[in-house]
C-alpha cells in the first residue's frame, strides 16, 4: 500500500497526462502522441488505485477477472470495429460509463460502511449529494446513449419523435429530479433513491428521442460531457482523485465541444440539453417534388476534371461506409500529377461524429495542410472548377440557407453549389440522415455519378490515368 501523499502525486501526474492527451487529440498531427499520453495516464491511475487500497482480499480476485474480461472484450471491439461504426461505439461506451456510475451509487447507498461514508440512514450529507448527482446523471447518460445508439445503428428511426406537451413534461421531470435529490438528502429514504433512478432513466429517453439525425453529432458530444460529470461525481463518492480529475476533464471538454458543434450547426446549446431540438412532423419536407437530375459516368467525370485547374474534394458518410479514403487519396494524387490544385473540404459534422472525416483521411495519409475547415474552404468554392462530393448530403444542401421549414435550416454548409461544376457520388437518391431531399442534386451545374464510392473512385482513377 502506498501513502496518501504519494498516491495524490501520481494522480496529479496522470491528470497532467490526461490534459496533454486532450491537447494532442485536438490536431490530427499530434493525435497519436495524445493517445499515448492518455494510455500512460490511465495505466498510472488504475495502478495507483489498486495500490492505494491495501487490502487485496478475495474480492479483488474477482475485480481482476472482470478487468481481464472487460479488457479482452474492449480489445476485440477495437480491432474489429469499422470506422463507420465509431459513432455507435462511442454512444455504447457512454452508456456503460453512465451505468457504472449508477452501480457505484447503488452500492454506496446500500452499503455506505464499505466506502467509509457512514451507515445506512446516516450517510454523510456531502457524500449523499455526490452519489445522488452521480446516480441521476449516470442514469440519464445510460438511457440517452441507448437511444442515440439505436438511432445511429438504424434500429430506431433517426426522425425526431415528438408529442404534445413534450417539453413541459421534460421540464417537470427535471424539476422533480431536483426535488427528489433534496428529499433523499433530507430523509435518506430508499424509496426516494429508487424513484430518483427511475425518473432519471426516463428523462434520458425523453431528452434524446426528439433530437433528429442531423443533430446526432451534437448529441454524442453532449452525452460525452454527461459521462464525464457522472464519472467525476462517482470519484467524489469513492474519494478517488484520479477519477475526479479525469471525469472533470471529460465533462468540461465534452461541453466545450458541444458548444462548438452547436455554433457550427446554428443550434442552441440549451435546446440540445433540454431535448428541444427536433423536427415537428408537420415541418418535414421529405415528401416534396421529385428532383430532376443529370446522371454521368466516371469517364465523363474524368474529362470534366481534366479541364479543371482547382478541385475540392468533399468527403461524407458515403465515403466512410465504402471505406474509400485510400481511393480518394489516389484520385487526388493523380489530379496533382496532372497539375491540378486539390483541397479537401471538412464540415465539422460530416459523418456521424466530430472529426470523423479527419480520422478517415489521416488513415489514408492525406497531408494535414490539405484538410480545410468550413470557414477556411467556403471562400475557395467560388474559384473552384470542380467540387467532388463523396457521399455527403445534409452538409452540402443549399436548403439550409433559405428553407425555413427544413430541419437543417440555419446550419452552416459547405458552399459546393458555388463551384463551376459539382460532381456528386451517391449510391441512390435516398435522402441523408436528416431525412430530406438535397436540392443541390437538381442544380444545373451538378452531375450525379451513382455507385459505391470506392468503386466509383477506383474507376475514376483508371479513367484519369488513360487521359
Catalytically annotated residues: 394
Q: Are strands 341-346 and 371-373 parallel, antiparallel or unpaired?
A: parallel
Radius of gyration of the chain (CA): 25
Residue carrying C-alpha cell 486532450:
22
Question: Which residues lie closer than 8 Å to 52 by C-beta, 6 or more apart?
Answer: 1, 2, 4, 7
Amino acid at each position: 500500500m502506498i501513502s496518501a501523499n504519494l498516491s495524490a502525486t501520481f494522480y496529479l501526474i496522470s491528470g497532467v497526462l490526461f490534459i496533454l492527451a486532450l491537447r494532442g487529440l485536438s490536431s490530427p498531427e499530434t493525435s497519436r502522441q495524445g493517445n499515448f499520453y492518455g494510455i500512460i495516464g490511465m495505466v498510472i491511475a488504475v495502478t495507483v488505485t489498486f495500490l492505494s487500497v491495501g487490502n487485496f482480499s478475495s474480492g479483488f480476485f474477482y475485480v481482476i477477472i472482470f478487468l481481464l474480461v472487460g479488457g479482452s472484450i474492449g480489445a476485440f471491439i477495437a480491432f474489429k470495429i469499422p470506422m463507420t461504426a465509431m459513432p455507435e461505439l462511442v454512444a455504447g461506451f457512454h452508456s456503460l460509463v453512465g451505468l457504472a456510475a449508477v452501480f457505484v451509487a447503488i452500492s454506496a447507498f446500500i452499503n455506505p460502511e464499505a466506502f467509509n461514508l457512514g451507515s445506512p440512514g446516516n450517510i454523510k450529507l456531502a457524500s449523499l449529494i455526490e452519489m445522488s448527482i452521480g446516480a441521476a446523471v449516470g442514469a440519464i447518460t445510460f438511457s440517452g446513449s441507448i437511444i442515440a445508439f439505436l438511432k445511429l445503428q438504424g434500429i430506431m428511426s433517426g426522425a425526431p419523435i415528438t408529442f404534445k406537451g413534450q417539453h413541459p413534461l421534460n421540464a417537470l421531470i427535471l424539476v422533480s429530479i431536483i426535488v427528489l435529490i433534496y428529499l433523499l438528502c433530507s430523509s435518506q429514504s430508499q424509496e426516494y433513491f429508487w424513484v430518483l433512478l427511475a425518473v432519471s432513466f426516463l428523462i434520458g429517453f425523453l431528452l434524446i428521442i426528439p433530437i433528429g439525425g442531423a443533430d446526432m453529432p451534437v448529441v454524442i458530444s453532449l452525452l460525452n460531457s454527461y459521462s464525464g460529470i457522472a464519472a467525476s461525481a462517482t470519484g467524489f463518492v469513492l474519494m478517488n482523485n484520479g477519477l475526479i480529475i479525469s471525469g472533470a476533464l471529460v465533462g468540461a471538454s465534452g461541453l466545450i465541444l458541444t458548444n462548438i458543434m452547436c455554433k457550427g450547426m446554428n443550434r442552441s446549446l440549451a435546446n440540445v440539453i433540454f431535448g428541444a431540438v427536433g423536427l415537428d412532423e408537420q415541418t418535414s419536407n421529405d415528401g416534396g417534388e421529385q428532383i430532376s437530375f443529370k446522371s454521368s459516368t466516371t469517364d465523363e467525370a474524368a474529362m470534366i476534371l481534366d479541364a479543371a485547374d482547382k478541385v475540392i474534394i468533399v468527403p461524407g458518410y458515403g465515403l466512410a461506409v465504402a471505406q474509400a479514403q485510400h481511393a480518394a487519396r489516389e484520385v487526388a494524387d493523380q489530379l496533382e500529377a496532372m497539375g491540378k490544385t486539390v483541397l479537401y473540404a471538412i464540415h465539422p459534422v460530416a459523418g456521424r461524429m466530430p472529426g470523423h472525416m479527419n480520422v478517415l483521411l489521416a488513415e489514408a495519409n492525406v497531408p494535414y495542410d490539405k484538410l480545410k475547415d468550413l470557414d477556411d474552404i467556403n471562400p475557395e468554392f467560388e474559384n473552384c472548377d470542380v467540387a467532388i462530393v463523396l457521399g455527403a448530403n445534409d452538409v452540402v444542401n443549399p436548403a439550409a440557407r433559405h428553407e425555413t421549414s427544413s430541419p437543417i435550416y440555419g446550419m452552416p454548409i459547405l458552399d459546393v453549389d458555388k463551384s463551376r461544376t459539382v460532381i456528386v457520388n451517391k449510391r441512390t437518391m435516398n435522402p441523408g440522415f436528416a431525412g430530406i431531399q438535397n436540392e443541390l442534386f437538381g442544380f444545373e451545374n451538378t452531375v450525379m455519378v451513382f455507385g459505391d464510392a470506392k468503386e466509383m473512385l477506383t474507376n475514376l482513377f483508371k479513367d484519369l490515368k488513360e487521359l
